[in-house]
Structure 1
């Protein structure tokens, strides 16, 4: 198993598809960094003063809303018939002068969006790399030849999957480290990095872990679908069909009929959003006017992670089951 893994690891990083993918995500990083560098600026004293004044009034309104919503939730106050409340009285972070400043690039304010962008890039890259890594083996006859020398089907497929996951994990960690360092360097001149507290840096690290795990999930999914179809195009076709027909099709359909999206709980996009952003409220669970709803377990990052992990594990299990049942041709 160790020799198989070492051989597959070398083959993974010796493939042109891997090298091209690494170059593409590096170019994307360079372009985004350059773009944010152009927007880097520092607020003027007048802008800071205005933001401080606005933050005082905005924070007072935020406090009143949170208190009123909490009282309605606990039954101490009665809401107006058409009064709107967010789920679990979540009005977002309390307004601060920095959050009200509309200037250039702020690492403190924009790092979550940067990490969500990295998650999409890495998950798609992992899906393509995983699919091509095993798909080419099947379509070229390399898998059949390998099984003649090493007839342990589960061990062979497992070694290839572990190599793909380890390689994508390494790429994701390095990419995120360079990504974060680059944008910290861009923001170094405006002091928005030093505004972050220890808990916020902890949240950054945990978000990075979720991004890496999502990339690994995408890699395993692409690998397994391509193994089931014995071709790279199978995984790419299934992925494109799912995104365009099921995910995008549902969004278009329910936006046209202008009603609650009943398909949300049966699509992966909401759980993906919950996994990355730590919360997602389904349309069916949103509070009605004059009421305060509690999301509970629905739409949490734990639920998102469980659903995504279950889907990946089922597809991987099917790939291994299919490998054991079929003859190599």
Structure 2
């Protein structure tokens, strides 16, 4: 198994598609870093003071709205007629002096969004790399030649899967390290008012682990679909069809008909959001008031990151089981 893993590891990083993917994500990092560098500016003392005053006033209104929403949601208070509250009383982050500065870049404020972007990039890259890594082997006949040397089909497929996932994990760690370092450098040059403590850095580190695991899951999904279809294009076609027909189609459909999007809990994007953001509300009704009375807001279903991890792991496990079963059946037919 060790010689096989070593050979597959070398093959992964010597492939042209891997090198092109690494160049593309590195180029994306360079462009984003350069773009945020263009917004570099140092707030003056007067601007910081004004932002602080605005934040204090906005925080009072924010706290009042959240308290009223929670009271209406629990049924202890009646909302004014015509008032609608957001799902889960989600008014976003509480206003701060940093958030009231309309220019510049704040890593402390924007790193969750930056890591979400990194997660999308790495997961898509992992899906493509995993699919092409095994798909090309089947379509070119390389898999059959390899099985002449190592006829244990399950071991061969497992070696390729481990090499692909380990390679994407390494790329994710290096990429996230460079990603974080680049934007921290931009933030330091900007000299913004943001300050991150130990708890913030620990949250960032845990999120980075989630991003890396999600990229590995994407790799395994692409690998499994391409292995069952014996071609890279099979995985790419299934992935694109799923995103366009099911994910995007369901969103457009429920936006057109209105009401609660009951398909959210059946979409992988919802569970990915829960995995990255620690929780996600899939179904809820908004509090509303009419002349006859008020209906309190009600959360129908919400998911935690633990539930999201279980769902994503189950999807990956099912597809990988299909890939290995397909591999064994080809051995007996």
The interval holding the TM-score normalised by the smaller chain is over 0.9
Query: Does residue 260 of the first structure (1) align with residue 260 of the second (2)?
Result: yes
Q: Is the 8 A contact 1:143 1:328 kept in 2?
A: no
Q: Is the 8 A contact 2:106 2:194 kept in 1?
A: no
Query: Does residue 309 of the first structure (1) align with residue 313 of the second (2)?
Result: yes
Aligned match of 2:298:
293
- Give, in whole Å, the separation in 2 of the partners of 1:280 and 1:74: 20
Q: How does 1:78-227 map to 2 (within 5 A)?
A: 78-192=78-192, 195-227=195-227
Q: Is the 8 A contact 1:225 1:235 kept in 2?
A: yes
- Give, in whole Å, the separation in 2 of the partners of 1:179 and 1:139: 35
TM-score scaled by length of structure 1? 0.93
Aligned match of 2:324:
320
- Give, in whole Å, the separation in 2 of the partners of 1:103 and 1:173: 30
Q: Is the 8 A contact 1:108 1:192 kept in 2?
A: no
| C-alpha deviation, 1:269, in angstroms | 1.4
Aligned residues: CA RMSD? 2.0
TM-score scaled by length of structure 2? 0.91
- Give, in whole Å, the separation in 1 of the partners of 2:116 and 2:56: 31
SS of alignment partner, residue 131 of structure 1: helix
| C-alpha deviation, 1:288, in angstroms | 3.2
- Give, in whole Å, the separation in 2 of the partners of 1:83 and 1:5: 61
| C-alpha deviation, 1:151, in angstroms | 1.4
- Give, in whole Å, the separation in 2 of the partners of 1:90 and 1:250: 23
Query: Does residue 68 of the first structure (1) align with residue 72 of the second (2)?
Result: no
- Give, in whole Å, the separation in 1 of the partners of 2:198 and 2:234: 45
Query: Mean Cα displacement is larger for which, 250-259 or 12-21?
Result: 250-259
Deviations 1:270-300 (A, max 9, x none): 1112212223222x323332414346x6232
Structure-2 change in CA distance of 1:303 and 1:318 (3 Å): same
Structure-2 change in CA distance of 1:182 and 1:287 (3 Å): same
Q: Is the 8 A contact 1:108 1:193 kept in 2?
A: no
The number of residues matched between the two structures is 327
| C-alpha deviation, 1:89, in angstroms | 4.0
- Give, in whole Å, the separation in 1 of the partners of 2:88 and 2:192: 30
Structure-2 change in CA distance of 1:163 and 1:291 (3 Å): same
Q: Which structure's residues are more often strand, by fraction?
A: 2
Aligned match of 1:49:
49
SS of alignment partner, residue 98 of structure 1: coil
